[in-house]
């Protein structure tokens, strides 16, 4: 168990103070809860339950939706709660959750992803070691390395690497424009979400650069690398693409709280 590595977000003072425990950081989420899309869902649910709409709020409706979705996902049972929601309602509630993940764990604030660089660098240190041992014709001391964390571990790491980034930020007022967004947390970090780096030693290659190659799989599906738009990359090219993060992202400095007295929003 290495919480400083796998729960880096708990150990990053800047993230904890300015995002995790800062209500204003979730202003887009709160605005969407009060917006027209959620209002429409609230009114519909209130009508179905024969309740005054004033007795419901977005959080209560979200709990009902989660009760429906959890039973469906875990037990393959259609809960009575599901009868309250249409597919359109589900899309609205999915967006509400994606907004929260975006602003709290994804691209909303730089510190969300920058705090994960300690884990990113650790992954490449293990890969480096395997390459060095292979070049020296030594047995690979750790042919398989498994690190176990949470969705909150994986989401920032994927954001740091630039995956599932939309041209426009997810906001309370652009629900319609984001109907075809890349950032869908339910697909990125579902149950048992996993990210695998596979390092290959290739014997029959034309150049020494091609001798070591890498693939990445998210939830058992191959990922396209940004720099090549292919599912395989030479290890040299991959390291070169992420050179800035590998060399210039320092966890202690990234996560230090600003000493000057400025607002959280300005700092973020």
Tell me which of 3.40.50.620, 3.40.50.1240, 3.30.230.70, 1.10.540.10 is the CATH number of domain 3-255: 3.40.50.1240
Question: Which tens digit of pLDDT belongs to each residue from 175-215?
Answer: 999 999 999 999 999 999 999 999 999 998 999 999 999 99
pLDDT surpasses 80 at 261: no
Q: Domain extents for the chain?
A: 3-255
Chain centroid, CA 58 distance in Å: 23
CA angle 104, 151, 11 (to 5 degrees): 60
pLDDT-based confidence at 266, cuts 50/70/90?
low
> Tell me: the pLDDT tens digits for 62-107?
999 999 999 999 999 999 999 999 999 999 999 999 999 999 999 9
User: Residue 200: in which H helix or E strand, if any?
Assistant: strand 195-201
The beta-carbon contacts of 212-221 under 8 Å, at least 24 apart in sequence, are 212/131, 212/134, 212/236, 214/127, 214/238, 218/158, 218/163, 218/188, 218/193, 218/194, 219/190, 219/193, 219/194, 220/194, 220/196
The distance in angstroms from the start CA to the end CA of the chain is 30
Q: State the pTM of this model.
A: 0.92
Number of H helices, E strands in the chain: 14, 4
């Amino acid at each position: 168990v290495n919480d400083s590595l796998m729960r880096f977000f708990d150990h990053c003072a800047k993230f904890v103070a300015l995002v995790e425990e800062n209500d204003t950081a979730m202003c887009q989420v709160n605005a969407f809860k009060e917006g027209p899309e959620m209002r429409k869902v609230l009114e519909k649910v209130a009508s179905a339950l024969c309740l005054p709409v004033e007795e419901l709020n977005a959080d209560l409706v979200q709990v009902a939706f989660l009760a429906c979705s959890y039973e469906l996902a875990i037990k393959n049972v259609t809960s009575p709660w599901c009868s309250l929601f249409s597919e359109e309602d589900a899309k609205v509630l999915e967006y509400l959750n994606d907004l929260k993940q975006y602003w709290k764990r994804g691209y909303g604030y730089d510190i969300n992803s920058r705090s994960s660089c300690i884990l990113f660098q650790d992954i490449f240190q293990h890969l480096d070691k395997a390459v060095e041992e292979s070049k020296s014709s030594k047995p690979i001391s750790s042919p398989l390395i498994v690190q176990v964390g949470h969705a909150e571990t994986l989401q920032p790491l994927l954001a740091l690497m630039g995956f599932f980034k939309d041209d426009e930020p997810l906001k309370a007022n652009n629900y319609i424009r984001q109907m075809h967004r890349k950032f869908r947390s339910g697909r990125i970090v579902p149950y048992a979400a996993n990210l695998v780096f596979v390092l290959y030693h290739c014997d029959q290659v034309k150049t020494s650069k091609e001798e070591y190659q890498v693939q990445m799989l998210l939830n058992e599906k191959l990922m396209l690398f940004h720099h090549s738009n292919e599912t395989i990359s030479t290890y040299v090219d991959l390291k070169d693409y992420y050179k800035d993060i590998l060399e210039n992202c320092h966890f202690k400095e990234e996560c230090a709280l600003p000493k000057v007295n400025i607002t959280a929003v300005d700092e973020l």
